[in-house]
Chain A
Amino acid sequence: MKTLHSIFNFFKKNIILILITLIAVLSIFLYKFQQIEEPVLAGKPLYHFYLVAQNSVDPFWKEVQKGAEDAAKYYNVAVEFNAPKFNNINEELEFLDIAVLSKVDGIITHVSYDGDFNTLIDEAYANNIPVVTIENDLKDSKRKSFVGANSFILGEEAGKLMRQSTGGKANIAVIMSNDVGNDTTSQNLKLNGFLSIINSVPGMKVSKVYTSQLGALSAEEITQSIINSNDGINALYITDSVDTIGASQVVVDFSKVGEISIVGYGDTPDILRYVDKGIIYGTVVSDPYKMGYESIKALIEIKKNNDVSTFIDTGVNIITKSNVKEYEDKTKQKD
């Protein structure tokens, strides 16, 4: 009874205090709980840029977006990303049209020779909107700058990898991507770069060049027919990341790993896994993150100084079993 009394007395004296502190603590807690909403933007951005990508599913373009976002954060600009879900030149063009109509401060766009990008780029120019092309170039347009990897160099590096993997003796089939909207010029440049190395080695030759029609399925069929035809093909060069996976999958299914060496393109997790397992000897990749970052940088240069180099090389990454882990770690750090 006495203890209860003293407890009660303590309560009686401090009840309101206790309650108020309790409520205050809870309120603060809840307030913090609600503050996760809406990230605070660091004031008014300098410019409003618009990026048109080739598609929104490819990890390549996601990396581009990441790079651009980081650059945008760093330079305090706002960037809009737009892309057709799957490769579709008409949709791409529409987005470009929208960008021009929206009177943005600058446009970064993927271009293709297969579509009429020139007219829109000219219109942007007329509206005083600078345009930077990315991954592919459109040399005869009024674009201010091109940011990307040199396709010829990509091909050369692939050729060097092929030379390493086969020890200079190879009967090679090339699978080229011919997706609608995929730029044939850059594909050709890749092939030419590749051939320039292969032709300089006597023991190596390219016996077939295929063009895949519809992504993975088609590349798989081509690979299957190559394996079935028994015409001594012991190496595959593939210029597209989706095709690379498809072809490798078939090689694994037919237990031809080791018999057919694969040099591919891309750095999707699946591809990296196959490189690690030794199914794919190596891949070449342009650096999409760097592309995104540099393109924003280039636009800012243009806005500030109205002057930028017409070609910004973002370099080539070569991934083999020896550096695949390192590469993975590096990309993880960027996330």
Chain B
Amino acid sequence: MNKSLFQFKGIRRKIFAHLLITTLIMGITSIYSYYNAKIVIDRLKSIFTDYVYLNSLNNDINSLETEVEKYLSTKSSDSLLNYYTISNKLNNSAEDMISITTYDNDSLMQKDIGNMIISLLSETDKAVNAKRGRISSEYIEYFTRANKINDYIKLYINNLMYNKLQEGTIKYNKISKNMVFISFLNIFLIVISVVLNIVLAIIYTYRITKPISELSDTAMRISKGDFDIDPIKIKTDDEVNILADAFNNMVTNIKNYIDEIKMQAKVEKRLKEQEMQNLKMKNILRESELKALQSQINPHFLFNTLNAASQIAMMEGAEKSSEFIEKVADLFRYNLRKLDKPVTLKEEIDNVFNYMYILKTRFGDKVEFQANIDEKLLDVKVPCTIVQPVVENAFIHGIEDMDRDGHIKIEIKRVGESIHIDVIDDGMGMTKESIEKILAADDPDNDENKHVTGIGMHNVINRLRLYYNKPNISDVIEIESRIGYGTRVTLKIPDGRGSAA
């Protein structure tokens, strides 16, 4: 702080410069006025000093005369002492006057006066000495002469006074003429400097404060929450500039922060939604689990029973029965697994094949199965039990009630970013309404009871949507159908997104 007291930069320098300039202007003006006044006073003084000097000289001469007269008439020692004092004083004055180094008319007169005083003193001395020596006739003569000289001196002093008065008058007139000029000049200068200072002050303050007020206006707007402002443009070379830059940066930073916060809020919202969806999914799963539990027979018991039956059949050598029962058991076991655990596509398809095998076994030629599967996609993770319900649907709604035989074809292939699992049947087909009904996500499953797994289309669709975070149904499933020609259901699995739900 102490160091920076003498560092003039920016606003401080500006203010300092301004103050310096104004101070200089006023200072010079006042010094000038003072100087002029002083000159005038000095001159007037010089006029008066002469008067004072001559006057005191005149008084001294007069008192000399008085003392001499007193002494000559009374011979008092007092007056003699006084006489000598005054005489000494006058002698010194006379010496001073004679040795004046100027030679104008007044000086010459003063020299004359000095010489005359010396003559006078010699005469008075003679008179006094004559009186002391009691030579009465002589002292009167000397005294008369002294008086004569006295008169001369007085005449000269008077003339000198008169001259000085004349000169003084001339000087005074000149001075007063000068004074008028000088005072006008001073007034002029003062007015000019005042005006100049005011102008400078206005300009300076305007220049210094304008950016600051701009800044403060903007700050006010920002404090009211209005961030849609252009960056302030200030072109000064001082702190305000720095301030403005900092301010602009601050504004942009604040904007960025606010955007970020908004983003975060969005993300959080989405997370919350996700959580909600997860909850929903869990609900749905629990529901399906419940459904499974609701079935009269404990599936585990059933599965174990079936396993036992399969083994019995094996032991009896009925291989076909054994295989069949095993497949049924597998189907059950697959359906008993946790629904929220993803499986590979291969496992899912195997399960579908199991189901098909069972259907084939049950219905014989009523239904034919075909599969066209891209082997490369088999290790993709998918939620479990998504394809089987679709195939079951195709059989139950498309083929079972038909008079003729039907075909169901599964195709798995990559289409762009996603994997399409097509389940195509040539069954009865569906009306638009039925399709829309299936695709209406919130519709509760009416036909779930008919399903083996207790899992209907709605369950599948919702689980896919939740699992892959696709709010649009059409991003998960497409259904095409013509009445009497069949139906194609396409499940869309985004590839490379094995993100766990």
Contact = CB atoms under 8 A, between A and B. Distances in A.
Interface of A: 8, 15-16, 19-20, 23, 26-27, 30, 33-34, 36-39, 41, 44-45, 48, 78, 80, 94, 97-98, 101-104
B109 A45 contact: no
Contacts of B119: 101
A15 B109 CA distance: 53
A101 B118 CA distance: 9
A78 B107 CA distance: 10
A48 B115 contact: no
Contact of A98 (B21, B32, B112, B196): B112
Given A26-B185, A30-B182, A78-B108, A19 B25 contact: yes
A78 B103 contact: yes
B229 to A, nearest CB: 24
B111 A48 contact: yes
B152 A97 contact: yes
B108 A98 contact: no
Contacts of A104: 112
B32 A23 contact: yes
Given A19-B25, A30-B182, A101 B39 contact: no
A78 B372 CA distance: 148
Contact of B112 (A19, A30, A80): A80
Contacts of B296: none
Given A41-B103, A44-B103, A34 B39 contact: yes
B80 interface: no
A80 B108 CA distance: 7
Contacts of A20: 28
Contacts of A26: 32, 185, 189
Contacts of A102: 111-113, 115-116
Contacts of B32: 23, 26-27
B178 A101 contact: no
A16 B24 contact: yes
B203 A15 contact: no
Q: Secondary structure at chain B's binding surface: helix, strand, loop or mixed?
A: helix
Contacts of A103: 115
A80 B105 contact: yes
Contacts of B148: 97
A101 B149 contact: yes
Contacts of B7: none
A44 B101 contact: yes
Contacts of B24: 16, 19
Interface in B159-207: 171, 174, 178, 181-182, 185, 189, 196, 200, 203
Contact of B21 (A16, A37, A44, A80): A16
A97 B156 CA distance: 13
A83 B21 CA distance: 62
Contact of B108 (A16, A34, A48): A48
Nearest to B118: A103
A103 B98 CA distance: 10
A85 to B, nearest CB: 12
A27 B200 CA distance: 25
Interface string B402-446: 000000000000000000000000000000000000000000000
A101 B115 contact: yes
A34 B36 CA distance: 11
Interface in B108-130: 108-109, 111-113, 115-116, 119
Given A98-B112, A101-B115, A101-B116, A19 B28 contact: yes
Given A19-B25, A41-B102, A98 B185 contact: no
B375 interface: no
A229 B212 CA distance: 110
Given A80-B108, A103-B115, A45 B178 contact: no
B397 to A, nearest CB: 85
Contacts of B25: 15, 19
Contacts of B109: 80
